[in-house]
Amino acid sequence: MAGIEHIQVEPDEAGMRLDRWFKVHFPGLGFGQLQKLLRSGQVRVDGGRVKTDARVQPGQVVRVPPLDVDAKALKSGPIGGNDLKHAGDGELLARMLLHEDEKVFVLNKPAGLAVQGGSGLTRHIDKMLEAWTSKKGEKPRLVHRLDRDTSGVLVVARTRGAAQKLTAAFRERDTKKTYWSLVKGVPRKHEDKISTWLVKEATPDGDRMRIAKHGEEGADHAISYYRVLEMAAQSLAWLEMEPYTGRTHQLRVHALHIGHPIIGDPKYFDDDPNWDFPGGVQKRLHLHARHIDIPHPNGGRLRVTAPLPPHMVQTWNLLGLDMASAGEPDDE
């Protein structure tokens, strides 16, 4: 049984009822048990007594006493900032797990967690995978990557042989990766191909990609496809995006290139004084690796879909976007 915890409410939990907040964080705790803890003052918010229908706000601190429930059920639901700081590597990876077999793990990477190390990074998935080293001493291997601010499907090989086959599938473009994004404005063409050259340049805010001239030194060809799935009042568009090539920040730069940058993009979305950022939408990158279709190392195809991160669920609900309208393929 764990000791007393003090958990800070995350920005994407704004306005959530307290009983719902407990259901997300501690699904093994029954409603009756929660009511008893509230009546006796063992559960408090910012030090004060509250009722089950109280609405929590970002930054508030919930006091959680030791809970006599199944330890495996204690933590589930969306992975927030506190989890990324304090939860163990093995626990976090288990909560990200979407698919597992003898050759492959597929994770739902949360936004804000880096895939590989870099300057100033103390935690990243590549290092965390050491927690899942096999009895033979084999650590799972990354076979592709996602930007730190991008959430969604991340494929990890469990063996050296699986890594070779999966890496080859990405290199030979025998994979189909589908992303969901929310962009500023509505593209004139509701379905199109974007083909440009991209080059990396250093800026005071770190490396950034830009559109390059054909033949410019260091430039790579990049091709993306997109289609509009739904619009919100002609001011926002929900896009399904598919990168044919796999260049750094490709979808983010291509969205900017067609005049419709991705909402909340810290690198490529510039504030426009003539455009109001939608109220209630968090300024976090609205780009999610939704689905992957890739050859399985044992044969056949592996198809996996990742649920949206909390900040995008909040936006979709706010705008009334209907996820069922996307017409996605079924996973196998």
Indicate the helix (H) or strand (E) that contains 226.
Answer: strand 220-232
Query: Residue 114: which residues within 8 A CB-CB, separation 6 or more?
Result: 121, 123, 124, 125, 148
Q: Is 76 helix (H, G, I), strand (E, B) or coil?
A: coil
Instruction: Write out the DSSP string of 247-305.
Output: -TTHHHHHHHHTT-PBTT-TTT----TTSPPPTT--SS--EEEEEEEEE-TTSSEEEEE
- Report the 10 Å Cβ neighbour count for 17: 14
* Residue reference for tokens 């008893």: 36
Assess contact for 258 and 187: CB atoms under 8 A: yes
d(CA 174, CA 242): 13
Q: DSSP letters of 179-220?
A: EEEEEES--SSSEEEEEEEEEEEEETTEEEEEEE-TT-TT-E
Element (H, E) at 227: strand 220-232
Known catalytic residue at 147: yes
Six-digit token pair at 125? 């998935």
Annotated active-site residue in 12, 46, 83, 147: 147
Question: Cα 81 to chain center, whole Å?
Answer: 12
- Per the CB < 8 A criterion, the answer to whether 179 and 160 are in contact is no
Write the DSSP symbol of residue 103: S
- CA distance between the termini of the chain: 38
CA dist., res. 194 & res. 257, Å (int): 9
Catalytic site positions? 147
